[in-house]
Amino acid sequence: MKKILPTIAFVLALFSGVVFSESVNINTADAAAISRILSGIGLKKAEAIVDYRNQHGPFQSADDLEKVNGIGRKLVDVNRDKITVGSPPATPAM
């Protein structure tokens, strides 16, 4: 029994990362959060995401990340389940 408990704890720890993976809103997160949560995105690429967002406005979908220099389809696909863009801002009534 003593040998089984550490094994069970190890397996639960492995699966908890999969089941409870974090997501990041690429329209509101800072570069540190983006680089921490998305796989294959270091601080430099995360800063490029934030810079692009500041220059061009909010991303409409995860696929829009491909417009950022250095980010391709493969990187987006690997992280798709972790990327959110939030709800688009409401347009004021005239």
The CATH number given to whatever domain includes residue 26 is 1.10.150.280
d(CA 3, CA 78): 35
The reported pTM is 0.72
Residue 90 within any structural domain of the chain: no
Residue 58 within any structural domain of the chain: yes
Residue 79 within any structural domain of the chain: yes
pLDDT reported for residue 38: 97
Structural element, H or E, at residue 9: helix 4-19
Q: What is the mean pLDDT of residues 1-19?
A: 55
The tokens describing 92, both together, are 């004021």
Number of structural domains found in the chain = 1
Residue 21: pLDDT above 50?
yes
Residue 54 structural domain: 20-84
Residue 35 within any structural domain of the chain: yes
pLDDT reported for residue 91: 56
Residue 71 within any structural domain of the chain: yes
Convert the pLDDT of each residue in 30-81 to its tens digit.
999 999 999 999 999 999 999 999 999 999 999 999 999 999 999 999 999 9
